[in-house]
Amino acid sequence: MAHRHYLLLLLAVLLPAAARGDPEAVQDFCVPDAGRGRPVELGLLPSYPCRNPANLTAGDFVFSGVRAAGNFSPETGFAGVSVTPAQFPGLHTLGMSFARADLSAAGGVNPPHYHPRATETALVLAGRVYAGFVDSGGRLFAKVLEHGEVMVFPRAMVHFQLNVGDTPATVYGTFNSENPGIVRIPATVFGSGIREAVLERAFGLTAAELRRLEKRFGPPKKAEMED
Amino acid sequence: MAHRHYLLLLLAVLLPAAARGDPEAVQDFCVPDAGRGRPVELGLLPSYPCRNPANLTAGDFVFSGVRAAGNFSPETGFAGVSVTPAQFPGLHTLGMSFARADLSAAGGVNPPHYHPRATETALVLAGRVYAGFVDSGGRLFAKVLEHGEVMVFPRAMVHFQLNVGDTPATVYGTFNSENPGIVRIPATVFGSGIREAVLERAFGLTAAELRRLEKRFGPPKKAEMED
Amino acid sequence: MAHRHYLLLLLAVLLPAAARGDPEAVQDFCVPDAGRGRPVELGLLPSYPCRNPANLTAGDFVFSGVRAAGNFSPETGFAGVSVTPAQFPGLHTLGMSFARADLSAAGGVNPPHYHPRATETALVLAGRVYAGFVDSGGRLFAKVLEHGEVMVFPRAMVHFQLNVGDTPATVYGTFNSENPGIVRIPATVFGSGIREAVLERAFGLTAAELRRLEKRFGPPKKAEMED
Amino acid sequence: MAHRHYLLLLLAVLLPAAARGDPEAVQDFCVPDAGRGRPVELGLLPSYPCRNPANLTAGDFVFSGVRAAGNFSPETGFAGVSVTPAQFPGLHTLGMSFARADLSAAGGVNPPHYHPRATETALVLAGRVYAGFVDSGGRLFAKVLEHGEVMVFPRAMVHFQLNVGDTPATVYGTFNSENPGIVRIPATVFGSGIREAVLERAFGLTAAELRRLEKRFGPPKKAEMED
Amino acid sequence: MAHRHYLLLLLAVLLPAAARGDPEAVQDFCVPDAGRGRPVELGLLPSYPCRNPANLTAGDFVFSGVRAAGNFSPETGFAGVSVTPAQFPGLHTLGMSFARADLSAAGGVNPPHYHPRATETALVLAGRVYAGFVDSGGRLFAKVLEHGEVMVFPRAMVHFQLNVGDTPATVYGTFNSENPGIVRIPATVFGSGIREAVLERAFGLTAAELRRLEKRFGPPKKAEMED
Amino acid sequence: MAHRHYLLLLLAVLLPAAARGDPEAVQDFCVPDAGRGRPVELGLLPSYPCRNPANLTAGDFVFSGVRAAGNFSPETGFAGVSVTPAQFPGLHTLGMSFARADLSAAGGVNPPHYHPRATETALVLAGRVYAGFVDSGGRLFAKVLEHGEVMVFPRAMVHFQLNVGDTPATVYGTFNSENPGIVRIPATVFGSGIREAVLERAFGLTAAELRRLEKRFGPPKKAEMED
């Protein structure tokens, strides 16, 4: 009886551990060849031929472009440099990519966003950063990170960062996909041209408020509304 | 020369087709055994033992619970029934799940949300529905669907539905994951307790507006803020 | 001792739950471009270029072709409409496809078959259907389904459907692969040209019986027999 | 114009090559511990603890049981030895298994069957064997194999073997799954208890013929018919 | 208390079994078309078009080239024949390949190597072979194998073989990847041109010893050193 | 004719790009519960229960232990800190892990090794480092990296690092597996107890040289030699 109770208890606590295998390519690497003088485009990646391995050098597997910050947005105080095969072709088929994020001293913010295809591990290289994510149950996990600390943002979960220090902050993030993708919540929801009837009822915002948001995040890209 | 031009053109249009393989379990099926009288919990799924196949019957692979609508939310006019192994244990390890969504006649809305782990195909069983998704480039793909039409929402992309007809609408959605997950944008962003400094700068909302949204979508679940 | 016994018992019932991960593409979507006026062929799918996302509209992600039944076979009373990227290119790389099956009132039958690359969830939209599958241990799981019920057929398991009602029946099936494939048992075994010596000994059928079956399901497609 | 023609031609022949990645475990190996004196059961595999690597020896990764043939079936002249983790626990989590098939001299037959979860490569160790498979398009690929030849049977495709020589034949098959599964067509279709109405209409067999087949391949295992 | 102890004990022994799924292509098979008279190159595999299934014959799925040994190396007494899609195009997209290894009677050796992308199962067809692998914890699992025995070498683990009998030995190995790859330790470490400063300190070898090894295994292939 | 030539040329350069999908868990995350006061062991990872998400805090997803270097080995001048779920349980099921490597100023060396289950991206945080890898074709890709540069080491390829500057160097590496594993070439080959007959013939080393190496890297761990 105690045993039966124990069995149930054991089963109750027992292991939702999702054993999983990491992926693998069918060759060592494949540095894409976009054609003379043409940049590699993410949308065409799977279609590029591989460069002949005999013509590759170590430089094809080294990237120098995250030594400095990108351009700061005056609105958010955020500067981001994403490094995928578009910038660093050697990453193709290797299942990883990375990014540098800088946040201005005066409360720079990396707005709520998510990466549909990757987990991110973020290392604070400088500054103090309030960072967090929200899981699919709506729970917030947020904390102030100091220099040298690493936070992990699980795949496809909404996350954000805020500079809470007096100096600029720098974060180095890496991803377990060569093309993690990024969905920025504000522009996706308020700047893509979704009918106001949807947003009014979903968010409880007034038409005037919605219009202000749409002005800030729009206009929609050559929108496909109504087909 | 024309040939060279042609080659570049060809390469330019050529096939970003991401060839992919669908997954597979290492056994035919595994109906989880949660213990006498206990419900199956999604969070414990990988830890349940399989029931002995000799004791299973056809009923373990049949589900009757989407014949009627769920409970309508007065705020949105939406009623949803999600069917994962928690409701239909036979789905476990089979890589699929499904859902029924009903939208009230008076402009019922399924608010913007995404499924982090699945593509959805949605069949309109009744009514007229304005439905759409936004891709990770911020482009909207939205359209009014009639009875019998199917729309596909790619994995982890934000999507929504609005009843634009005079009668209640019903949508049957299926997913290519047994546990697709759901991230509801309004509650995730405005109801989880993210510091207002983040949301003010990210969305350009006033403190008063934010507080109204937080009231509508909060309070946060036993929040982990600040740790 | 009781403990030892208990441990064995626990291990005996414990969890053959095959934790598995659903797959994922490296981009949001890829609508294949077969070239002006040419149909998309499944056999060429991985080789088509993606259409430029900027030129896509919502219509590329909506399909209207399952609103009516397909053509009925007089022999079986079955009418099927399979929807893969060949009919609905927007499904490509999204890991899902679907089908509509109609069964005539007079005992229409969807003959035993299996999908080598997908699990199927089947929703009965109309009628009463005796449906079932056989697992790899030879056990049958079969049951009469009513309108609104869903049955799941695990990946690569033989399954079938029979209209047991007085009215035509309609089933809507979805798959967790863009190209699930279909192996129809009768034609595969008796209509492909396998040497009779194999079939006689394997099935215990007479030469005359075999010839009748071969006539019904053959002749073999430009067969590769004997090479 | 020639160019346009050429483009179409090129696209027509172009590469349905499904680039795929082979899987990977998250540890070197995991030899299951079924408990003192208990056999490893396939259905419980994912639930067994791993044995402590420190207690393993080379013998845990070596199998000696395919040096001799299994027991011959008088009906088919077939003797099979399947080696999965149930017989060779060291295979667990390594993604491979193997089998030995012997066919008696007098036209021994390995009846039509398929492995739902694995491709098979089959090496003829002795004898002459007519072997083949049928693809999902119903095309037969069959040929007489000599000693030392290897044939590949793609995942989940129906295949078979027939001894066409004057001596016993031996085939060594390997699989790219630790638990490939086996669906034997005759017993699955005619011995599992599927309602005769299905089989009569699907195969065009008479009730008498069906009953003979059911007698040969049945009775069904504690059948789940009708639930 | 006993219970608490028991729980810990149970958890301690409990199941590091990494449940994993084997992969799957999105079509039955894809025999690559390298163009008239051109050999299939592994590096170009994903880019070849598939041959039209209607033009394939059984011969495309049969390979005869492992009936005899390859060429022996006088230094090691080893002769290897690797069979990937480069030699047997029909293997493409099927997730398997194989190899034949012969070891000369006078202590022939298959030097330490590993396959980065596959587990190997090795069947001894003739002779007596001392074979083994080293796991990532540095533990050796080695044993003398007799004719008819099978050893499994887990994915990416260093392994080797030595003929310890008086007659030539033959081993038939199969892999769960169409392109397992091979990294030969001696040539990789001592013959690729790595700076001596690295090797001296890593191995504790003298400059003279290193030079001898480099002479034996080099010179490096058009090396990319120093870029 | 030109066209034919062109087609061949096109096919020759065309796209060995291995399109691959990154993996995914069936839940947001799973922080393992090893039991009160017990450390998480990698070998038991898949067997731990998940901690109840309601009891997790942001601290479970933050790691502070790479702010300082590990202990330096006097022999190699190397200090490494590996961070897997054993040190940072929150990483479990998320498909990522990371490491900090410090190299002493006087030519500190990270000896040749490989990670069987992950690609690594390595960021130089301080110092000048000669780093490189060797592909499975035996080609070396090596280069001196400066502060802020990133090098990618493809999955399962042998790689190494050497401090070539006058100051200590620090490298931050991240992996696309929660348990990448590490195979250190010197100890694996010379310190595991492989029979000298294998190593002598494979490397061309004298018995005396081998014994010196075995002394440096041995003795073998409770070896399994000869079984």
Judged by DSSP in three states, C111 sits in strand
HSE value, Cβ hemisphere, 13 Å, CA-based, for B98: 34
User: Which residues 208-227 of A are in CB contact (within 8 Å) with F?
Assistant: none
Residues lower than pLDDT 50 in chain C: 1-24, 223-227
**Residue whose C-alpha is closest to residue F137's, from E42, A61, E155, E226:** E42
pTM (2 d.p.): 0.90
Nearest CA in chain A to F9: A49
Q: Check if D23 contacts A (Cβ < 8 Å).
A: yes
pLDDT at position B46, please?
66
Residue A22 contacts D where some CB pair is shorter than 8 Å: yes
Minimal-distance CA residue of chain C relative to E25: C117
Output the CA angle E20-E82-A25, nearest 5 degrees: 40
Confidence of residue E87 (pLDDT cuts 50, 70, 90): very high
Average pLDDT over residues E180-199: 97
| Residue F175 pLDDT level (bands cut at 50, 70, 90) | very high
Mean pLDDT of all residues belonging to chain F: 86
- In this complex, is the C-beta atom of A28 within 8 Å of any C-beta atom belonging to chain F? yes
Edge-first strand listing for the sheet containing D109-114: D140-145, D129-134, D158-163, D109-114, D183-184
Q: What is the pLDDT of residues B106-126, one digit of tens each?
A: 899 999 999 999 999 999 999
**Between D139, D202, D216, which is nearest C224 by CB?**
D139
pLDDT at D191 over 90: yes
Set of chain E residues whose Cβ sits within 8 Å of the Cβ of A6: 3, 6-7
Residue-wise pLDDT tens digits, D213-227 = 999 998 897 644 444
The DSSP result for C186-203, as a single string, is: HHHHHSS---HHHHHHHH
* DSSP structure string for D129-150: EEEEEE-TTS-EEEEEE-TT-E
Instruction: Give which of A50, D20, A62 is closest to F153, Cα–Cα.
Output: A62
Over the stretch D72-128, which tens digit does the pLDDT of each residue have? 999 999 999 999 999 999 999 999 999 999 999 989 999 999 999 999 999 999 999
Does the distance separating the beta carbons of D59 and F42 come in below 8 Å?
no
CB F133 within 8 A of CB F143: no
Lowest mean pLDDT among E50-59, F116-125, F157-166: E50-59
Return binding residues of F for Mn(2+): 113, 115, 120, 159
Please give the pLDDT value at position D222.
Answer: 63
pLDDT digits (tens, 9 = 90+) for E131-152: 999 999 999 999 999 999 999 9
CB-nearest to B10 from D7, D21, D222 is D7
Nearest CA in chain B to F47: B47
E19 to chain D: closest CA residue: D46
Q: Which of C57, B194, E72, E26 is nearest to D154 (CA)?
A: E26
B4 vs E: CB within 8 A: no
Q: Which residues pair with D144 in a beta bridge?
A: D130
Among candidates E174, E221, E210, E178, which has minimal Cα distance to E87?
E178
pLDDT, tens digit only, all 227 positions of chain A: 344 333 333 322 222 222 223 334 678 998 988 888 899 988 777 667 788 888 999 999 999 999 999 999 999 999 999 999 999 999 999 999 999 999 999 899 999 999 999 999 999 999 999 999 999 999 999 999 999 999 999 999 999 999 999 999 999 999 999 999 999 999 999 999 999 999 999 999 999 999 999 999 988 976 444 44
pLDDT value of residue B20: 29
Cβ–Cβ contact C142 with D under 8 A:
yes
Which residues of chain B from 45 to 104 reach within 8 Å of chain D, CB to CB?
49-50, 52-54, 56-59, 62
Residue E123 contacts D where some CB pair is shorter than 8 Å: yes
CA distance F227 to chain A (A): 30
Q: Which of C11, C47, C94, C175 to mutate to test binding with chain B, by most B CBs within 10 Å of its CB?
A: C94
Average pLDDT over residues D120-143: 97
Distances C67 to B149, B150, C97, D172, E95 between C-alpha atoms, Å? 7, 9, 16, 50, 39
CA proximity to D114, closest of D43, D164, D189, D44: D189
Cα separation of E136 and E126, whole Å? 30
Residue of B nearest to E93 (CA): B21
Best mutation target, F151, F158, F211, F216, to test chain E (most E CBs within 10 A): F158
Annotated binding site of D for oxalate, which residues? 110, 115, 120
- Closest partner CB to D27 (pick from F6, F179, F225): F179
Sort out which chain E residues have CB atoms less than 8 A from C14's CB and list them: 15
What does the pLDDT average to over F66-93? Answer: 96
In this complex, do A135 and F172 lie within 8 Å of one another by their Cβ atoms?
no
**DSSP code of A10?**
H
Within 175-194 of A, beta carbons closer than 8 Å to F belong to 176-178
Per-residue confidence (pLDDT) for residue C106, from 0 to 100: 83
Question: Which residue in the block uniquely carries the two structure tokens 């494939």?
Answer: C181
Per-domain boundaries in chain D: 66-181, 188-217
- Indicate the residue type of E141: F
Decide if E179 and A26 are in contact by the 8 Å CB cutoff. Answer: yes
| Count of Cβ atoms closer than 10 Å to residue A167 Cβ | 11
Q: In chain B, which residues have their Cβ closer than 8 Å to the Cβ of D222?
A: 54
Specify binding-site residues of F for oxalate.
Answer: 110, 115, 120
Using CB atoms, list chains with 3+ pairs below 8 Å to chain F: A, B, C, D, E
Beta-bridged to residue E113, according to DSSP, are E159, E184
Mapping DSSP to helix (H, G, I), strand (E, B) and coil, where does residue D197 land? helix
pLDDT band per the 50, 70, 90 thresholds, residue E6: very low
DSSP A32: B
* Residue B122 near residue B150 (C-beta atoms within 8 A): yes
As a whole number of angstroms, the distance between CA F155 and CA F96 comes to: 13
Task: Identify the band that residue F25 occupies on the pLDDT scale cut at 50, 70 and 90.
Answer: low
- Where is the binding site for Mn(2+), in residues of A? 113, 115, 120, 159
Tell me, yes or no, if F138 comes closer than 8 A to chain C by beta carbon. Answer: no
Q: How large is the ipTM?
A: 0.88
CB contact under 8 A, D2 and F7: no
CA of residue E21 relative to chain centroid, distance: 22
Residue B35 sits at the chain C interface (C-beta within 8 Å): no
Contacts of F193 in chain E (CB under 8 A): 140, 142
* Contact across the interface for E26 and B22, Cβ inside 8 Å: yes
- Percentage of chain E beyond pLDDT 70 is 85
Q: Mark yes or no for CB contact A27/E179 under 8 Å.
A: yes
Q: Which of C10, C22, C26 to mutate to test the interface with A (most CBs of A within 10 A)?
A: C26
DSSP tag of C92: T
How far is the alpha carbon of D20 from chain F, nearest alpha carbon, in Å?
6
pLDDT at E21: 30
Q: Do E15 and F77 touch (CB under 8 A)?
A: no
Nearest to D117 among B24, B49, B52 (CB): B24
The reported pLDDT for the residue numbered A44 is 73
Question: What tokens were used for D174?
Answer: 């390997």
Query: Are E119 and D142 within 8 A, CB to CB?
Result: no
Instruction: Name the band, by pLDDT with cuts 50, 70 and 90, for residue D145.
Output: very high
- D117–B26: do the CB atoms touch at under 8 Å? yes
Q: Give, in degrees to the nearest 5, the angle at Cα E134 between D66 and F160.
A: 140
What pLDDT, on the 0 to 100 scale, is given for residue F186? 97
Decide if C186 and D203 are in contact by the 8 Å CB cutoff.
yes
Average per-residue pLDDT for chain E:
86
pLDDT at F11 over 80: no
Whether A195 and chain D come into contact, CB under 8 Å, resolves to no
CATH number given to D66-181: 2.60.120.10
Integer distance in angstroms from the first to the last C-alpha of chain E? 64
**Which amino acid is residue C121, in one-letter code?**
T
- F111-156, pLDDT tens digit by residue? 999 999 999 999 999 999 999 999 999 999 999 999 999 999 999 9
> Is the CB of C19 less than 8 angstroms away from the CB of A14?
no
pLDDT at residue number E25:
67
- Residues C145 and A95: their CA atoms lie apart, in Å, by 44
- What the block records as the tokens of A22 is 């990491």
Report CA torsion sign: A37, A40, A43, A45. Answer: positive
